[in-house]
């Protein structure tokens, strides 16, 4: 399980255009997604680097959707959105604490108090990415991409 950014940008509706126009639109959509992906890569929370290593570059899916995100990391969405309180397994948090602080005290606190009473705090990295992607689309003209392909 992972997270995918899909702003609803796709190649639907461009099937009745020539291949050069389609390629220009596709490059425009990919470049916008790449701007978002760069923000996600910069903002991603990091411990062992698993989220970053499992990020995938913008791609055009068979459906025509242009997406990017994090693949096969079950905690990708909880890191992005945070969680409600729950009882986590202790061992992974003790290992995390050992890596971060050199001792296990913080891990016991997080496992036995913080997460069970407060949940996991959100550490957004995909939402800022989607905002950057939206901003990029608003400040770039797709006709520039189409014109380049037609030359």
How far apart, in whole angstroms, are the C-alpha atoms of residue 149 and residue 31? 15
Instruction: Give residue 41's pLDDT.
Output: 95
Question: Does residue 6 surpass a pLDDT of 60?
Answer: yes
Instruction: Give residue 85's pLDDT.
Output: 98
Read off the pLDDT of each residue in 16-39 and give the average, rounded to a whole number: 92
Residue 5: band (very low, low, confident or very high) from pLDDT cuts 50, 70, 90: low
Question: Does residue 1 surpass a pLDDT of 60?
Answer: no
The per-residue pLDDT for range 51-85, each reduced to its tens digit, is 999 999 999 888 888 888 888 899 999 999 999 99
How far apart, in whole angstroms, are the C-alpha atoms of residue 19 and residue 26? 10
Read off the pLDDT of each residue in 138-143 and give the average, rounded to a whole number: 96
The per-residue pLDDT for range 87-134, each reduced to its tens digit, is 999 999 999 999 999 999 999 999 999 999 999 999 999 999 999 999
* Cβ-based neighbours of 115, under 8 Å, separated by 6 or more: 83, 85, 86, 87, 88, 93
Q: Measuring CA to CA, how many Å separate 21 from each of 35, 61, 93? A: 21, 18, 51
């Amino acid at each position: 399980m992972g997270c995918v950014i899909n702003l609803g940008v796709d190649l639907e509706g461009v099937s009745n255009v020539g291949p050069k126009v389609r390629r220009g639109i596709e490059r425009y959509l990919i470049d916008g997604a790449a701007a978002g992906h760069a923000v996600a890569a910069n903002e991603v929370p990091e411990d062992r680097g698993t989220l970053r290593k499992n990020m995938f570059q913008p791609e055009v899916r068979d459906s025509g959707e242009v997406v990017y995100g994090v693949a096969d990391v079950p905690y990708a969405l909880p890191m992005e959105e945070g969680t409600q309180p729950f009882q986590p397994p202790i061992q992974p948090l003790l290992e995390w604490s050992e890596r971060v602080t050199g001792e296990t005290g913080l891990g016991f606190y997080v496992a036995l108090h913080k997460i069970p009473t407060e949940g996991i705090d959100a550490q957004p990295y995909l939402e800022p990415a989607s905002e950057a992607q939206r901003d990029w689309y608003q400040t770039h003209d797709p006709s520039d991409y189409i014109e380049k392909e037609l030359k």
